[in-house]
Structure 1
Amino acid sequence: MRLAGVGGRLGGGALPGSARRRLGLGVVALLSAVGVALGAPAAPGVAAAVSPAPGVPLPAAMADTGGGTQLITARARTLSSTTGTVQWWQRHNGRWRLRGSAPARFGAGGLAEGGSRVQGTSTTPTGLYDLPFGFGTAPAPPGTTVPYRRVGAHSWWCEDNASAAYNRWVDPLPPDCAAAESERLAGYPTQYSRALVIGFNYHRPVRGRGAGIFLHVNGKGATAGCVSVPAGAMARILSWVRPSAHPHMAIGTASGATALTRY
């Protein structure tokens, strides 16, 4: 989604009227989550996860990396952060090696645990997700092997909770998907010049949890729930990702209940 007045993509639409009405409730939930990140006591029986020891690759300290040999990590300091770092890793002979790093931007509302996220809150969902396909208004960079769709004049991402096409690429927009609740991808030639779909709420969509969460090129500021990186980094990631490596993306914080090491 994009964020009006900020210029970054918000990961699920342009904050239509209904989303703005839901934003107040989302802010309340977000403030509660931020309290956990800033020092509220952890739930009973839940240890406070922390960053790996110096010299230990981040994926080696994670509970799960998706089972493949490629992993993208997006880490923020706390749930209230709107910036952080994206890194991409390759496993070879049982050892994870860093292949690249870039500054990242997150949702204008910070981050939220993916399983309880609410659509319209401008939060980036934490968790471990697959990467179904890439897309863009620009051609795929040289070397790209991941499925890549070119954005056309009638390409949309449906974010209407009442539509059968909820959280899906559609071309053209189907009659049951309201344009005001969705996103015309060609309208964002900078952010969507190149992007990867993040598999949040994608395979078994839950209405109201959120739609259109991508890794894409930076806009002018924070996003509406996506993760964004500089254009050069996005091109390198797309050229590097290999479907045969079963790539995943993990999004989380440096410590606490939503720490990357928990995923």
Structure 2
Amino acid sequence: MSTPTHGAVRRPVAVLAASLVLVLVLVGCGGGAVATSDQRPGTTTVNGGAGASPEPAPRVALSVAPQQLPGLGSKTWAKVPPKTRQALVVTGRGKNSSTSTAVLYERTASGWQAGTTWPAHNALRGWTGHHRAGDLRSPIGVYALTDAGGLRPDPGTSLPYDQSGDFRIGGTGFEGEPLAGSFDYVIAINYNRRAGTTPLDWTRPLGAGRGGGVWLHVDHDGPTQACVSLRKGHMKELLRALDPDSDPVVVMGYAAALRR
């Protein structure tokens, strides 16, 4: 860059001006180091003149959506259909625990985006990879979510919804808690059932001995027999969020099993 002289200018003034320009270029607007175009990518030159060692540029934390559902090992992940764009991941605290958490993930162009983490319950005795009727364990696996229903009117779901008085339930749970209202809203988990039918359909393709009637339903503040339960407000949110065109599934089991 040249500086107009506007007549006779003494040489020391010109030298001083050039020195000031050099200092400004080296310091930069914020008073820090300035990277030049001939440096290696990812390095900056610190003030100190010739011979200064390049230092790595500070890392910028980026939020990148994962391409695979978090917490799943290769075997579990392989069971998630490639076309699935919604997955409710229910993670149990332990093999014999009845306490879980649930997160609805949505697959986007940039990867899987997680929703809010919801508290949940599963079966009294925890989890099993080979569920049988009456074992009081929830089945581990990946299951489609295609059908819903309940005692209460449809809260606005896109899933087929069967409102029926047959979802009425009474009595008490394992911890003495009332069960009334547990089936106000339910979503059938496609374990040992016929997809495309009401959750009340008792067809058992694997046989009655392998259990059935495994649902997502309203939490009654205690363990279930085999189902997964969420608070009523969260069940309504889930029902409204699920989209049949996204081929939704539930991925369920205790954490160590899901990591396989």
Interval of TM-score (by shorter of Structure 1 and Structure 2): 0.5 to 0.7
Q: What is the DSSP-based 3-state SS (H/G/I as helix, E as strand, rest coil) of the residue aligned with 1:101?
A: strand
Instruction: Give the equivalent residue in structure 2 for 1:216.
Output: 217
Instruction: Give the equivalent residue in structure 2 for 1:110.
Output: 126
Tell me the C-alpha RMSD between the 2 structures: 2.0
Query: After TM superposition, where is structure 1 displaced by more than 4 Å over at least 4 residues in a row?
Result: 54-58
Q: Which of 81, 88, 92 matches 2:104?
A: 88
Task: Quote how far apart the aligned CAs of 1:209 are.
Answer: 0.7
Instruction: Give the equivalent residue in structure 1 for 2:163.
Output: 150
Please say if residues 66 and 128 of structure 1, whose CA atoms lie closer than 8 Å, have aligned partners that are also in contact.
no
Please say if residues 89 and 100 of structure 1, whose CA atoms lie closer than 8 Å, have aligned partners that are also in contact.
no
Aligned length: 172
Instruction: Give the equivalent residue in structure 2 for 1:187.
Output: 169
Please say if residues 218 and 228 of structure 1, whose CA atoms lie closer than 8 Å, have aligned partners that are also in contact.
yes
Report the AA paired with residue 81 of structure 1.
Answer: S
CA distance in 2, matches of 1:231, 1:108: 20
2:251 maps to 1:260? no
Unaligned runs of 5+ in 2: 1-63, 171-179, 195-204
Task: Quote how far apart the aligned CAs of 1:253 are.
Answer: 1.6
Larger Rg: 2
CA distance in 2, matches of 1:87, 1:58: 14
Identity %: 27
Please say if residues 119 and 209 of structure 1, whose CA atoms lie closer than 8 Å, have aligned partners that are also in contact.
yes
TM-score by length of 1: 0.61
Unaligned runs of 5+ in 1: 1-53, 156-184
Alignment deviations for residues 158-194 of structure 1 (CA, whole Å, 9 cap, x no partner): xxxxxxxxxxxxxxxxxxxxxxxxxxx2125411011
Task: Quote how far apart the aligned CAs of 1:234 are.
Answer: 0.4
Instruction: Give the equivalent residue in structure 2 for 1:10.
Output: none
TM-score by length of 2: 0.62
CA distance in 2, matches of 1:192, 1:254: 27
Task: Quote how far apart the aligned CAs of 1:100 are.
Answer: 2.6
2:80 maps to 1:65? yes
1:124-135 matches, cutoff 5 A:
124-135=138-149
CA distance in 1, matches of 2:169, 2:160: 22
CA distance in 2, matches of 1:86, 1:72: 7
CA distance in 2, matches of 1:235, 1:193: 10
Q: What is the DSSP-based 3-state SS (H/G/I as helix, E as strand, rest coil) of the residue aligned with 1:233?
A: helix
Task: Quote how far apart the aligned CAs of 1:211 are.
Answer: 1.3
With over 3 angstroms needed to count, the CA separation of the structure-2 counterparts of 1:83 and 1:69, relative to structure 1, is same
CA distance in 2, matches of 1:120, 1:192: 19
CA distance in 1, matches of 2:65, 2:247: 25
Task: Quote how far apart the aligned CAs of 1:64 are.
Answer: 3.3
CA distance in 1, matches of 2:117, 2:67: 13
The answer to which structure, 1 or 2, has the higher relative contact order (CA under 8 A, 6+ apart) is 1
Task: Quote how far apart the aligned CAs of 1:261 are.
Answer: 3.7
Instruction: Give the equivalent residue in structure 2 for 1:101.
Output: 117
Q: What is the DSSP-based 3-state SS (H/G/I as helix, E as strand, rest coil) of the residue aligned with 2:140?
A: strand
CA distance in 2, matches of 1:59, 1:65: 9
